[in-house]
Structure 1
Amino acid sequence: MTRTKALAWAGGASYPLMVGLLVGGMTRASGTVHGVGALLAASLLAGVVRRRPLPALAMALLGSTAVVVGMPSSAHDSLAASYQGEFLSYLAVDLILGFIVATCTRRASVVAVAVSFLVQLLVTGGFAHGDNLTVNGVIALLAMSAACIAGLLRRERREHAVALRTQEVAEAVTAERLRIARELHDMVAHSIGIIAIQAGVGSRVIETQPAEAREALRTIEATSRETLSGLRRTLVSLRRAERGASASEKSSPLAPAPGPADIERLAAATTDAGVRVDVRRSGNERPLPADIDLSAYRIVQEALTNVVRHAGTGHCRVAIDYGDEELTVEVVDDGRGTTGSGSGHGFGIIGMRERVGLLGGRFSAGPRPEGGFRVAARLPLPAPVGVPVEAR
Structure 2
Amino acid sequence: MVKDEAKGAAERLTGLDLARSLAVFGMILVNYRIAMGAEAGGPPWLAGAAGLLEGRSSAVFVMLAGIGLSLMTRRARQGEAGERRRSRTVIRKRALYLFLLGIGLLLAGWSADILHYYALYLFLGSFLIRAPSGALLVWTAGLLVCAQGQLLLLDYRTGWDPAFHQYLDFWTPEGFLRNLWFNGYHPMLPWFAFFVFGMWLGRLSLRDEAVRRRGLLVSLGVGFLSEATAFAARSASIPYLDEEGAAYLFGTKPMPPGLFYMLSAGGMAAAVILLCLYAADRLQGSALAARLIPAGQMALTHYVLHVIAGLGLLEFLGALENGSLPFALLYGTGYYAAALLLSGRWLNRFGRGPFESLMRRL
Superposition TM-score, scaled by structure 1 size: 0.22
Larger RCO (CA under 8 A, 6+ residues apart): 2
Larger Rg: 1
Structure holding more strand per residue: 1
Structure holding more helix per residue: 2
